[in-house]
Amino acid sequence: MAYDPNNVFAKILRGEMPCIKVYEDDHTLAFMDVMPQTPGHTLVIPKTESENLFDLSPDAAGALIKSTQKVAKAVKKGLNAPGIMIAQLNGPEAGQTVFHIHFHIIPREEGVDMKFHAREMADMDELAALAEKIKAAL
């Protein structure tokens, strides 16, 4: 499958679609997942056109994992999350639904179940409030 420049994350990067930003640098962007599996579910994407891990250059992969680690630490601290799950899916068979490589940072707490992936829209005000807590922890 070739990279689709009209995928939702490419549109976010071009400013054609809104997002609730958590972190941005020259190479990556982190923002709140609008269909979170748990409160605080955050996505980190590279600013390069890469469909999956196998298309990503080593330099872009390094920048992406560095930002993922930085944002994951902020999610954990800012939301007092006892655990953090990091997920990265490659291909539809693995569950990838947006074909622009991205990492999921999902806060986890014992006894709290996750919602199904990409099923239910969150309240935007709640997402914005969670984003502020995460940004404050960066």
- CATH topology for 8-137 is HIT family, subunit A (3.30.428)
Q: Is 104 a catalytic residue?
A: no
Select from 25, 26, 29, 4 the least CA-distant residue to 15. Answer: 29
Separation CA 57–CA 80 (nearest Å):
34
Total Cβ atoms within 10 A of residue 19: 21
Separation CA 124–CA 116 (nearest Å):
18
8 A C-beta contact, residue 28 and residue 45: yes
Select from 60, 53, 62, 42 the least CA-distant residue to 99. Answer: 53
Indicate whether 9 pLDDT > 90.
yes
Residue 20 pLDDT level (bands cut at 50, 70, 90)? very high
Q: Average model confidence (pLDDT) for the chain? A: 95
Catalytic pick from 27, 41, 100, 102? 102
Q: Read off the pTM.
A: 0.96
Give the whole-number percent of the chain exceeding pLDDT 90.
91
Select from 29, 33, 35 the least CA-distant residue to 14. Answer: 29
Indicate whether 104 pLDDT > 90.
yes
Question: Residues 69-100: pLDDT tens digits?
Answer: 999 999 999 999 999 999 999 999 999 999 99
What single DSSP character describes residue 121?
A: P
Separation CA 19–CA 13 (nearest Å):
9
Listed in sequence order, the residues at least 6 apart from 59 whose beta carbon sits closer than 8 Å to its beta carbon are none
Residue 117 pLDDT level (bands cut at 50, 70, 90)? confident
Separation CA 106–CA 84 (nearest Å):
6
